[in-house]
């Protein structure tokens, strides 16, 4: 682990924290958000430094493919795995040099200083200085690179998206991951004091520079919750839920539970994770809404009665949220997707037995891969003749027909536009009705 520098050269603690976060993600397999919370607290970083740490960490993860390629050109040979901390210091320094508005000399000096304070890495400081000076000379070459999205996408993921959508769309998907997502908010009722863009279905959108979420108008009062525009669509496909019994069978952390409760449904919010259900309780409490919260494995849970409607927001690879969580590029493996597909199929089969005749199931995932979306529904409909698809109409989604595929399911991609604004999470959503 990178040591916390005691004697702080200006900006050194922030740079060290960013390198340690990258080490925790790439080597230790931590989520970047968890690593951030831990490292920022260990380093006791001031608020003004935290933004910089976040920006360096996110830029490093979004641009790691390009960074590694440039370093590969300038390093005589790759650093041995035992020097992984030094590699992470080079990555974060290169991110600042190549992609951020940071003076080159600061990025280089502070990388060298990070190495100097560590006994086992001290001897690499001269090499780092020389290599990073060469990285500076690569700026122009990097700025003119083409197919940058692909360069920053692990090969196995690129291949999956190219197979599902073709290379041109895959490049647009990967390119969207280079940019930070806007902050989208769902309103509990129709109004808010916030100055924000109102998207066609009522979601509020704030672009960067909004500060801390907790400081935004209406947070304390529970007027809204954070929810990407695309993530708000599955519940909208249920229409008016007032008075209906609705099971939200993979509920935590509760974004969609809040939507259902705000629509006055009788909500049973089920999740297998006690820890994550605490978040559902906290979130419902803040916005003063309620639901029956049930900690259970849906594969074993036996509700007393069948439901009018059910939402299955299934566990998935979450590749649709890479703009917000660029660590997903490096934390997921192909074998994870195999296991998730099996689980999604089982959960969907279980859900089919929980709704009344005439009842609706919304199946959704925030995955880009069709295996976790389109192909799951194809297989389900083939095996369950008592269900049919109720195709999504443009009216269901604020007139945005470009989000509806030929089968009448929703397929959103991270580069899709909404109103005059660009970008949304990648989601697949299908609406199914039980015929008998």
Ligand X SMILES: C[S@@+](CC[C@H](N)C(=O)[O-])C[C@H]1O[C@@H](n2cnc3c(N)ncnc32)[C@H](O)[C@@H]1O
Q: For the CB of residue 333, give the shortest distance to ligand X in the complex, in Å.
A: 18
385, 362, 363, 383: which is closest to 372 by C-alpha? 363
The whole-angstrom separation of Cα 307 and Cα 354 is 6
Looking at the Cβ atoms of 301 and 330, the one nearer to ligand X is 301
CA distance readout (Å), 53 to 8, 19, 36:
15, 9, 8
Q: For the CB of residue 274, give the shortest distance to ligand X in the complex, in Å.
A: 10
Looking at the Cβ atoms of 273 and 405, the one nearer to ligand X is 273
Q: For the CB of residue 269, give the shortest distance to ligand X in the complex, in Å.
A: 9
Q: For the CB of residue 162, give the shortest distance to ligand X in the complex, in Å.
A: 25
Looking at the Cβ atoms of 52 and 235, the one nearer to ligand X is 235
Q: For the CB of residue 252, give the shortest distance to ligand X in the complex, in Å.
A: 4
Looking at the Cβ atoms of 101 and 300, the one nearer to ligand X is 300
R_g of the chain computed on alpha carbons:
23
Looking at the Cβ atoms of 313 and 327, the one nearer to ligand X is 313
Q: Where does this chain bind ligand X (CB under 6 A)?
A: 250-256, 270-273, 276, 297-299, 313, 315
Looking at the Cβ atoms of 35 and 252, the one nearer to ligand X is 252
Looking at the Cβ atoms of 2 and 252, the one nearer to ligand X is 252
Q: For the CB of residue 346, give the shortest distance to ligand X in the complex, in Å.
A: 8
Q: For the CB of residue 175, give the shortest distance to ligand X in the complex, in Å.
A: 25
Residue 229, phi-psi category: left (phi > 0), alpha (psi -120 to 50), beta (remainder)? alpha
Q: For the CB of residue 363, give the shortest distance to ligand X in the complex, in Å.
A: 12
Q: For the CB of residue 342, give the shortest distance to ligand X in the complex, in Å.
A: 12
Q: For the CB of residue 220, give the shortest distance to ligand X in the complex, in Å.
A: 21
Q: For the CB of residue 111, give the shortest distance to ligand X in the complex, in Å.
A: 38
Residues 149 and 172: beta-carbon distance below 8 Å: yes
Looking at the Cβ atoms of 255 and 373, the one nearer to ligand X is 255
Looking at the Cβ atoms of 315 and 391, the one nearer to ligand X is 315
Looking at the Cβ atoms of 313 and 425, the one nearer to ligand X is 313
Q: Residue 168 is encoded by which pair of tokens?
A: 């041109």
Q: Which residue is nearest to ligand X (CB)?
A: 250
Mapping DSSP onto H, E and C, the string for the chain reads: CCCCCCCCCCCHHHHHHHHHHHHHHHCCCCCHHHHHHHHHHHCCCCHHHHHHHHHHHHHHHHCHHHHHHHHHHHCCCCCCHHHHHHHHHHHHHHHHHHHCCCCHHHHHHHHHHHHHCCCCCHHHHHHHHHHHHHHHHCHHHHHCCCCHHHHCCCHHHHHHHHHHHCHHHHHHHHHHCCCCCCEEEEECCCCCCCCCEECCCCCEEECCCCCCHHHCCCCCCCCEEECCCHHHHHHHCCCCCCCCEEEECCCCCCHHHHHHHHCCCEEEEEECCHHHHHHHHHHHHHHCCCCEEEECCCCCCCCCCCEEEEEEECCCCCHHHCCCCCCHHHHCCHHHHHHHHHHHHHHHHHHCCCEEEEEEEEEEECCCCHHHCHHHHHHHHHHCCCEEECCCCHHHHCCCHHHECCCCCEEECCCCEECCEECCCCEEEEEEEECC
Looking at the Cβ atoms of 245 and 257, the one nearer to ligand X is 257
């Amino acid at each position: 682990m990178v040591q916390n520098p005691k004697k702080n050269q200006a900006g050194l603690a922030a740079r060290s924290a960013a390198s340690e976060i990258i080490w925790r993600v790439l080597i230790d397999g931590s989520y970047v958000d968890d690593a951030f919370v831990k490292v920022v607290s260990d380093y006791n970083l001031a608020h003004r430094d935290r933004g910089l740490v976040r920006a360096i960490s996110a830029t490093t993860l979004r641009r790691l493919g390009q960074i590694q390629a440039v370093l590969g050109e300038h390093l005589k040979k790759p650093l041995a795995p035992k020097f992984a901390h030094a590699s992470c210091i080079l990555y974060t320094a290169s991110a600042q040099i190549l992609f951020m508005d940071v003076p080159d000399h600061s990025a280089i000096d502070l990388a060298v200083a990070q190495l100097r304070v560590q006994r086992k890495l001290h001897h690499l400081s001269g090499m780092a200085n020389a290599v990073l000076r060469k990285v500076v000379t690569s700026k122009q070459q990097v700025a003119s690179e083409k197919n940058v999205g692909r360069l920053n996408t692990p090969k196995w993921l690129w291949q999956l998206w190219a197979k599902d959508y073709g290379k041109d769309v895959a490049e647009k998907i990967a390119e969207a991951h280079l940019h930070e997502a806007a902050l989208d908010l769902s309103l509990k009722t129709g109004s808010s004091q916030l100055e924000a863009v109102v998207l066609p279905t009522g979601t509020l959108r704030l672009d960067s520079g909004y500060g801390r979420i907790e400081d935004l108008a209406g947070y304390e009062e529970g007027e809204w919750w954070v929810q990407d525009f695309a993530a708000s669509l599955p519940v909208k496909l249920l229409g008016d839920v007032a008075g209906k019994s609705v099971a939200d069978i993979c509920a935590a952390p509760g974004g969609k539970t809040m939507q259902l409760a705000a629509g006055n449904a009788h909500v049973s919010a089920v999740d297998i994770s006690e820890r994550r259900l605490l978040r559902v309780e906290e979130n419902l409490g803040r916005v003063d809404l309620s639901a029956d919260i049930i900690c259970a494995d849906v594969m074993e849970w036996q509700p007393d009665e069948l439901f009018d409607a059910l939402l299955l927001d299934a566990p998935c690879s979450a590749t649709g949220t890479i703009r917000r969580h660029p660590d997903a590029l490096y934390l997921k493996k192909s074998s994870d997707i195999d296991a998730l597909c099996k689980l999604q199929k089982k959960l969907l089969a279980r859900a089919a037995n929980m709704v009344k005749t005439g009842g609706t199931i919304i199946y959704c995932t925030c995955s880009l891969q069709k295996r976790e979306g389109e192909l799951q529904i194809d297989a389900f409909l083939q095996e369950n003749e008592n269900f049919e698809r109720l195709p999504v109409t443009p009216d269901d989604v604020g007139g945005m027909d470009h989000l509806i595929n030929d089968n009448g399911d929703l397929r959103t991609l991270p580069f899709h536009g909404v109103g005059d604004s660009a970008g949304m999470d990648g989601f697949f959503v299908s609406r199914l009705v039980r015929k008998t």
